[in-house]
Structure 1
């Protein structure tokens, strides 16, 4: 393992709680400026190489009207357009304030819960810090089997599944090698957004239908479930926001 630059070591010594509070404040302001209304609450979890940002009560007055009219696609499309300009800013901020170079960035919304999540995954260097991430947790193998089953129903069995309990309330599941040939062709033809919408609708339907099963596996209530993909890396992510008290 190569030695880390002194500047990176200084980041390690920085108070994690302070970093989380600073990031939460920044993301809240950024979203408020971009959407006209920011989230009521922002919760940040840092466990290298992962940064998970969970948003609560994030829906503008205009979006509430569209939601009542079942215009979910309009809300999602508008948010996607805005996020394209915000993601580089968020990555730059995280690099400055955590020392982590974010190589992968995922996001999703649960509009019915007025919530959302951002997930940043750091560079290879950040994987040197995974010692504190608990890869083993109660129900891990059963969870992987259920996720594999759902993936197989929608596309195909993933070539690899791994997951991390970032903290007692945040579980990240990553799948690699899930695209089938027709999905790759849709991307080649420029229909990536349509493919992602279809994937998200199908997968969330399966995840929500199996909510009780997941709760039984994890021995925890589930507050939210999010999904996103990086089709060019052929990777998909699922984030469970847990409520251990339930």
Structure 2
């Protein structure tokens, strides 16, 4: 099956599984298969129940419910992605922007080697330095930063060795859920605060930004959805 058909099939599957488990499917699903990554971006994803919870100021509860559902769904989604793409998945990341009703999944193949140089684009090293500076505000400068411009609208940033000792201790004591919620809030706020500088380096507008972590492997993925880069 060619790439276009694989992406179309994965898009249909993601829409269906989200609808079956969350009560409402997304309006649109955009899938890009670019080994060693599969990126999935979806829009207009918010159920009536979630909307009511948000209106009553319970955004954190919505985050917890979604995260717990994804704990049970990630394995199933990963297996399907592997079966249709032919990749062996190492990491699976997810995140949401409740205000904009958007979300993302990023799957990373076991063939991925973060030590290998990524393809270059204008101001890439300066962009990495800015990501490192933002990371330092939240925890510390990552041991490694790589970025991959998958297409004109999709930029994946991989960070390795980002956790500080207190975070590792929280994880060891079973605090992953609250740590994820706290880090998601903090780091996305920092990305928003520094968005103008990021856009200047990328020479385009950032339409959406998502972030997630694999605490066990001390790694993180940031997905930027961009206005098409000229």
> What interval of TM-score do these two structures reach, taking the shorter chain for normalisation?
over 0.9
Corresponding residue of 1:19: 6
Q: Is residue 164 of structure 2 the alignment partner of residue 177 of structure 1?
A: no
* Secondary structure in 1 matching 2:129: helix
Name the residue aligned to 2:98: 111
RMSD: 1.7
- Decide which structure has the larger Cα Rg and report it: 1
Tell me if structure 2 keeps the 8 A contact 1:169–1:243.
yes
CA offsets, 1:160-219, max 9 Å, x none? 111100111000011111111111110111111111111111111110011111111111
Query: CA–CA distance in 2 between the matches of 1:220 and 1:153?
Result: 24
Show structure 1 runs of 5+ residues with no match.
Answer: 1-13
CA contact (8 A) 1:134 1:166 kept: no
Q: Which runs of 4+ in 1 moved over 2 A?
A: none
TM-score, normalisation: structure 2: 0.95
Instruction: Give unpaired runs (5+ residues) of structure 2.
Output: none
> Is 1:166 the counterpart of 2:140 in the alignment?
no
Return the match for 2:173 from 178, 183, 189: 189
Of residues 63, 78, 99 in structure 1, which corresponds to 2:50? Answer: 63
Aligned to 1:9: none
- Superposed displacement of residue 80, structure 1: 0.9
Is the helix fraction higher in 1 or 2? 1
Shift of 1:153: 1.2
User: Who is 1:238 aligned against?
Assistant: 222
User: 2: distance between equivalents of 1:233 and 1:49?
Assistant: 17
The aligned length equals 228
Q: Does 1:42 align with 2:42?
A: no
Shift of the alpha carbon at 1:134? 6.2
Q: Aligned partners of 2:138, 2:39: CA distance in 1, in Å?
A: 26
Equivalents in 2 of 1:198, 1:77: separation in Å?
Answer: 11
